[in-house]
């Protein structure tokens, strides 16, 4: 549970947000009181499939995945994110959430009400351009992750999937430490834990990551993002 001081500290640091430059001081003053800050435990739902798209959600800390689970219990992960804002597609289309958003580790999120988001989108051209660019980047990311699934070997798939978690467009990462277990990385990559373990050891030997009990630290983000490029 976040205390009042934690919430005040997070809001005071809002200028670190990648889209903060699009707002005037007046807009920022009006916006901040509408932002809600909440904590989500590891494995907890940020939203569920079918929920109303009533907030634009920012990852203040932690990481998450977008996924779906079939009635038979089979799960598929579409993408993940360590930082940034997500959920604009449902707000823009006016539709319900079309997948689950789940915290991979204990996370803190910021929630902008949909009405505020749409008002900024309509009245602020710079914010509008940022959101349009982000939606384009997200589409490109989904296409890349689909290609990783079909075309890459296990080591390359883990490398590129980890690199996708830290997209500097969504949020310039202030930490490259991914505090998730290998089982959670396996879930994100749609791979077995044993294959992910082998892949991480190979990437560590190549100097791209450092693997520890507490999680995985990215040593060479560009190297991961370009791994196995032709």
Q: How many domains does the chain have?
A: 2
Give the pLDDT confidence score for residue 159 in this predicted structure.
92
Mean predicted confidence (pLDDT) in 115-141: 92
pLDDT digits (tens, 9 = 90+) for 89-106: 999 999 999 999 999 888
pLDDT at 202 exceeding the cut of 50: yes
- Do 133 and 174 have their domain in common? no
- Do 156 and 145 have their domain in common? no
- Note down the domain range covering 97: 1-149
- Do 141 and 171 have their domain in common? no
- Do 144 and 156 have their domain in common? no
DSSP the chain: ---HHHHHHHHHTGGGSTTGGGS-HHHHHHHGGG-EEEEE-TT-EEE-TT-B--EEEEEEES-EEEEEE-TTS-EEEEEEESSEEE-HHHHHHT-B--SEEEESSSEEEEEEEHHHHHHHHHH-HHHHHHHHHHHHHHHHHHHHHHHHHHH--HHHHHHHHHHHHT-TTT---S--EE---HHHHHHHHTS-HHHHHHHHHHHHHTTSEEEETTEEEES-HHHHHTTT--
pTM of the model: 0.81
- Do 175 and 217 have their domain in common? yes
Q: Across the chain, what does the average pLDDT equal? A: 86
CATH number at residue 178: 1.10.10.10
- Do 101 and 16 have their domain in common? yes
* Domain termination residue (choose one: 87, 121, 149): 149
pLDDT band, very low/low/confident/very high, at 53 (cuts 50, 70, 90): very high
pLDDT digits (tens, 9 = 90+) for 178-197: 666 787 788 778 788 899 99
pLDDT digits (tens, 9 = 90+) for 63-74: 888 888 878 877
- Do 190 and 140 have their domain in common? no
């Amino acid at each position: 549970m976040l205390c009042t001081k934690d919430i005040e500290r997070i809001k005071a640091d809002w200028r670190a947000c990648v889209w903060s430059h699009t707002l005037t001081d007046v807009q920022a003053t009006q916006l901040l009181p509408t932002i809600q800050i909440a904590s989500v435990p590891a494995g907890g739902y940020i939203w569920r499939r079918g929920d109303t798209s009533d907030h634009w959600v920012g990852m203040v800390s932690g990481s998450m995945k977008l996924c779906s689970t079939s009635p038979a219990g089979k799960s598929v992960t579409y993408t993940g994110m360590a930082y940034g804002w997500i959920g604009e597609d449902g707000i823009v289309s006016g539709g319900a959430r079309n997948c689950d958003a789940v915290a991979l580790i204990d996370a803190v999120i910021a929630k902008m009400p949909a009405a505020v988001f749409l008002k900024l989108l309509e009245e602020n051209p710079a914010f509008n351009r940022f959101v349009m660019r982000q939606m384009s980047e997200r589409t490109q990311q989904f296409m890349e992750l689909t290609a990783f699934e079909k075309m890459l070997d296990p080591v390359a798939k883990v490398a590129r999937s980890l690199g996708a978690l830290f997209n500097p467009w969504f949020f310039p990462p202030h930490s490259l430490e991914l505090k998730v277990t290998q089982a959670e990385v396996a879930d994100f990559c749609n791979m077995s834990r044993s294959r992910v373990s082998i892949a991480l050891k190979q990437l560590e030997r190549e100097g791209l990551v450092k693997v520890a009990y507490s999680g995985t630290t990215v040593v060479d983000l560009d190297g991961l993002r370009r791994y196995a490029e032709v």
